[in-house]
Amino acid sequence: MNTGYLIYQAERTRTAAEQRAVDATHGELAAALTRLWHLLTAPLRLLTAPPRSRHEGEREARQGTQHEIPQVTEEQPPSCVAAMSRSGR
C-alpha cells in the first residue's frame, strides 16, 4: 500500500466540486445507515411504546378541526380589506 500517496490526499485541499461530491456521498451514507437503523429498531419501538387508548385517534381528529381557516367569499371581503376601504386607502 502506498501510504505516502494517502497522506498526500489527506493533506491537500479539495476543490469546491470535490468537496460537494464528498459531502453528497457522506449524506447518502448517513441516509442509508439511518434507514437501516430504523428498520432494525422498529420491532423494539413497538414493544416499548406506551399503549394507545381506544379514543386517542378520535381526540386527534377533533383537535384537527378546531384550527380551520375561514373561507373568504366574494360577498364578504376580509376584515382588513373592508377596514382599508372605509379609511380611504
- The pLDDT tens digits of the residues spanning 18-72 come to 999 999 999 999 999 999 999 999 999 888 888 777 666 666 566 655 555 556 5
Q: Which residue has the higher pLDDT, 74 or 37?
A: 37
Q: Is residue 43 part of a domain?
A: yes
Q: Is residue 45 part of a domain?
A: yes
Q: Is residue 32 part of a domain?
A: yes
Domains contained in the chain, number: 1
Its domain, for residue 32, covers 16-49
pTM: 0.47
Q: Is residue 77 part of a domain?
A: no
Residues 15 and 23: their CA atoms lie apart, in Å, by 12
The position carrying cell 381557516 is 69
Query: pLDDT at residue 5 above 70?
Result: yes
